[in-house]
Amino acid sequence: MSKPVFLALVCCLGWVSLANGQEFLSGIEWPEPQVVTPGEKPTDAPSDATILIGSEGMSAWKGGDQWKFAEGVATADKGGIETKEEFGDVQVHLEWASPEEVKGRGQGRGNSGIFFMGKYEVQILDSYDNPTYFDGQAGAVYKQSPPMVNAMKKPGEWNTYDIIFNRPVRNDKGDVIAPAHITVLHNGVVLQNSYAVRGSTNWHKPPAYEPHGEKGSIGLQFHGNPVKFRNMWVREIKPIEPTFVPEDTEMVRYKADWSTEKMKTAPAPETSAAPEEKAEPESKPAEPAKEDAKEEK
Any idea what the CATH number is for the domain that residue 205 is in?
Answer: 2.60.120.560
Average pLDDT taken over every residue of the chain:
85
How far is the C-alpha of 233 from the C-alpha of 215, rounded, in Å? Answer: 17
Residue 296 counted as domain residue: no
Q: HSE-up of 58 (CA within 13 Å, CB side)?
A: 22
Closest CA to 123 of 143, 108, 138: 138
Identify the residue with better confidence: 18 or 129.
Answer: 129
What's the pLDDT score for residue 169? 93
Residue 134 counted as domain residue: yes
Tens-digit pLDDT profile for residues 222-252: 999 999 999 999 999 998 888 888 876 666 5
How far is the C-alpha of 225 from the C-alpha of 102, rounded, in Å? Answer: 10
The stretch 209-232 carries a mean pLDDT of 96
Residue 268 counted as domain residue: no
Residue 140 counted as domain residue: yes
Residue 30 clears pLDDT 70, i.e. is over it: yes
Confidence band for 284, pLDDT divided at 50, 70 and 90: very low
Vertex 123 angle, CA 118 and 124, to 5°: 115
Number of domains into which the chain is organized:
1
Identify the residue with better confidence: 283 or 37.
Answer: 37
Residue 261 counted as domain residue: no
Identify the residue with better confidence: 29 or 120.
Answer: 120
Residue 142 clears pLDDT 60, i.e. is over it: yes
Residue 8 counted as domain residue: no
H/E stretch holding 5 reads: helix 3-20
Residue 252 counted as domain residue: no
Residue type, 255: K
What's the pLDDT score for residue 1? 59
How far is the C-alpha of 111 from the C-alpha of 124, rounded, in Å? Answer: 6
Is the pTM higher than 0.85? The answer reads: no
H/E stretch holding 10 reads: helix 3-20
What's the pLDDT score for residue 280? 47
Domain range spanning residue 199? Answer: 52-236
Identify the residue with better confidence: 38 or 247.
Answer: 38
Identify the residue with better confidence: 263 or 70.
Answer: 70
Lowest mean pLDDT among 86-95, 143-152, 268-277: 268-277
H/E stretch holding 162 reads: strand 159-166
Identify the residue with better confidence: 32 or 273.
Answer: 32
